[in-house]
Amino acid sequence: MPPKKASPGITVLLIDAGANMAEKTTDSEKTDFENAINTADWIISRKLFSEDSELFTIMAYNLDPSQAVTQIKKQKFEGVAVQNEEFTHASFDHLKFITHELHQNTNHTEPQFFKGILAAVAILKEQIDSYPNPSGVTLIVLTNGMNENIRQENYDLLVDAISETNADLMIIGIKENPEYPASRIVELAEHLEGRSYTFENVSKMLSSYQARHKSERKYNKMWDIAPGIRLPVTFALKSEKSSALLKFKNADSEGNEMVRMEQMHVESHDPVDIPKEDIKIDKNSKQTMSKEDKNYKPVENIKTMHGYNFGKSVIMMDPDYMKEKYNDHNFNEGQTGGVLKLIQFTKKANILDSYLVDASAKTVLPSLNSPASGTTKATVALIQAMFDLRVAAICRYTFHAKSHVQLVALIPHRDDETGVFYLRSVKLPFSDDMRTLKFPKFSFDEDEQDTNKPTVAQLSAVDDLIDCMQLKETEISTLVEGGMSDPKLQMQCHFLKSLVLHPDDTMENHTVRTNRILEDIMAPKTRFEAENSEIYKKLGREFNLQPIQKTKRERVIVEPEDLQAMITEWTVKKEQVVEESEEDGVSQKKKKKLGGGGAKKLSRREEVELELNEEGGAGRVCSKILQMISNTCQFQSSGALSGFFELLVNEIKVIRTVFVEKEQCDEFNELLKKLKEEEDFEPFAAVLAEDKTCNPISTSEVSTSQVSDSDAAEFWEED
């Protein structure tokens, strides 16, 4: 029997809300309960904004037994509260529970760590019974562990109960080197191979929001190393900036998704009357034009030239010359999946550091093929031999048949952790792209005098500066793990949380809360300068440094009146649009009044339907959207560009729906084929590949389609 498919992971966050959490640490003005709420906030927020697939719920214990009673199946737990017995994805409801509904119990009651854990285990068991085989089970307990006297029999019961659910236990909030009874809880975590952290350690790890993880993109290629011999490799991006940090959608007041598209329409001022017979129409097009449609200009039939992309240049060649000199050779070799062809090997030292500057490097891994073929083993052997011999491979590379030819170097590496051999692909520059750099001449020989040679005292001063400005080990580990926070994302998340948790607050207060995140991740640390003022004075004395007079940077200020004017303008426009009435029982008189009062604004779907009803309309619809996508792809990637891409994806979805209803498919499928294969549309194709809902129209939808259901479903998978 094949193994059952794993269900999403489940997590219970258990918060100690007892009077024992009123203690304060020496380094913080916050109580342990406030630190627990703050830590829970960060955990939920990171799960929320990263769209974590785990199912989640929150519980609290050490509450007033007369007010908080939770019943799970037939078991009743006094002093325990649960946010929702049904596990859900992290949401703002969880944040509202810990910030608005959960309050600390200030009455000194009997510690209930034992009951709290048993209640959490009971709700975990109930979830596992309903959805077996979860991908992971986690129990996070936020407590300082004070006044928790766990008897041995209760200790053994907790070990058995947690082990039965196979949960990963995590204790947060107990100080380092704790004394009894808190040490008893740490001992429990160690016995179950769990983990324990202080609030301070966890706050450093969780003090930033995380965007949703972008699915990796891999490109399968065949590496030609000799005539008739190809080895399978996979190109993959090791890291890539997410094009959309947070995903926003336009919606009306009822929450229905809306699409707003704006198009530019350009016509000539001087109409040209051209005889109808002079207007040449493509034989393959069914479109018929009249001189009343638009102003057309006949195109002169000149000799066709063929261009080939090489690097960033287009080399034009006459077809006769191509046939005579190159035997009609296609430089890109016409392979749909592109070309990766070995030219020669060279010493790794010959790939200079200057080649790597501003180069788009990719990771190249051996592809997993059938063991019987032996190609994967041959690929690994070749990379290992290149690594041992310290050589790199120079190759000719094209992404697909129509993309630019590039020269790349495949440099061998070995992963320190796994020992796996792999390659790094680096685009090699042309000699014309290289710039020389002349270094000034410094002579630091003992026998020669040089005014630029630093003295011993000056070197000592710089050494002191380096010592005091060294990153701490904790900060280094965060840096290595990719802990560089994007300020824009942090402010977006902070602002959204403020809007949801404080809906009646003023915009000024929302902005103040949002700006607090900048103080943590961007504001200069003035404390460091105050504590090390002697070092700066020493540097100034030894090097005769002069204070820098900084020029104040001008800032662009948007007046509130301008924003209000924009809002008013859009409100007026919205009121001018006559909305469609879909209510039943509308009288014919009212309908007539609406019809005679002005033209009703058509929806985008209705506009596409009208265009498709015209002869040759399908080709025009696809040409328009293709031109819009082409214009958008020319802009540099940014957060604003991702918003335009999202609008274009919604537009394609509308077009696809209308095509299916009209039982047409050829033009739409050809549109998607162009978007996937042509390199100019690669940024937008990546968005479609991630979305995976705009697939070609298959035979099950339109009988005349030549695309099978399986091919349509796998269309955006990598070749």
Q: Tell me the per-residue pLDDT of 517-554, one tens digit each, with 9 for 90 and over.
A: 777 666 666 677 777 888 888 888 888 877 777 666 56
Mean pLDDT value across residues 678-686: 80
Q: Which CATH class is domain 10-206?
A: alpha beta
Q: Fold match between 10-206 and 214-242+304-435? A: no
- DSSP 3-state of 350: helix
Q: Can you give the pLDDT at residue 228? A: 77
pLDDT at 13 over 90: yes
Q: Can you give the pLDDT at residue 586? A: 44
Under the banding of pLDDT at 50, 70 and 90, the label for residue 445 is low
pLDDT at 649 over 90: no
Under the banding of pLDDT at 50, 70 and 90, the label for residue 116 is very high
Which candidate, 501, 486, 478, places its Cα nearest to that of 41? 501
pLDDT at 23 over 60: yes
pLDDT at 382 over 90: yes
- Helical H runs in 223-374? 319-326
Q: Can you give the pLDDT at residue 607? A: 83
pLDDT at 474 over 70: no
Report the chain's mean pLDDT, rounded to a whole number.
75
Most confident of 193-197, 228-232, 473-477, 561-565: 193-197
C-alpha to C-alpha distance for 409 and 419, rounded to whole angstroms: 22
Lowest mean pLDDT among 211-225, 336-350, 496-510: 211-225
Q: Can you give the pLDDT at residue 287? A: 44
Q: Can you give the pLDDT at residue 300? A: 43
Q: Can you give the pLDDT at residue 331? A: 56
Show the 3-state SS of 196-215.
EECHHHHHHHHCCCCCCCCC
- Please give the radius of gyration of the chain, using alpha carbons only, rounded to the nearest integer: 33
Q: Which residue has the higher pLDDT, 77 or 517?
A: 77
The count of other CB atoms within 10 Å of the CB of residue 655 is: 24
Q: Which CATH architecture has domain 214-242+304-435?
A: Beta Barrel (2.40)
pLDDT at 578 over 60: no
Q: Can you give the pLDDT at residue 553? A: 57
Q: Can you give the pLDDT at residue 308? A: 64
pLDDT at 218 over 80: no
Single-letter amino acid, residue 161? A
Q: Can you give the pLDDT at residue 238? A: 52
Mean pLDDT value across residues 11-15: 94
416 burial class (0-12, 13-18, 19+ CB within 10 angstroms)? exposed
> Strand 10-16 vs strand 137-142: parallel, antiparallel, or unpaired?
parallel
Q: Which residue has the tokens 């004070």?
A: 146
Mean pLDDT value across residues 608-626: 85
The answer to whether 397 touches 362, Cβ cutoff 8 Å, is no
Q: Which residue has the higher pLDDT, 222 or 388?
A: 388
Under the banding of pLDDT at 50, 70 and 90, the label for residue 246 is low
Q: Can you give the pLDDT at residue 359? A: 54
C-alpha to C-alpha distance for 607 and 624, rounded to whole angstroms: 13
C-alpha to C-alpha distance for 9 and 133, rounded to whole angstroms: 9
Q: Which residue has the higher pLDDT, 347 or 567?
A: 347
Mean pLDDT value across residues 327-349: 74
Single-letter amino acid, residue 458? Q
Instruction: Look up residue 253 and give its DSSP letter.
Output: T
C-alpha to C-alpha distance for 135 and 463, rounded to whole angstroms: 50
Which candidate, 217, 214, 172, 218, places its Cα nearest to that of 197? 172
Q: Can you give the pLDDT at residue 229? A: 84
Sequence spans of domains, the chain: 10-206, 214-242+304-435, 462-543, 603-713
The answer to whether 348 touches 391, Cβ cutoff 8 Å, is yes
Lowest mean pLDDT among 50-64, 160-174, 336-350: 336-350
Mean pLDDT value across residues 683-710: 84
Under the banding of pLDDT at 50, 70 and 90, the label for residue 275 is very low
Q: Can you give the pLDDT at residue 418? A: 84
pLDDT at 675 over 90: no
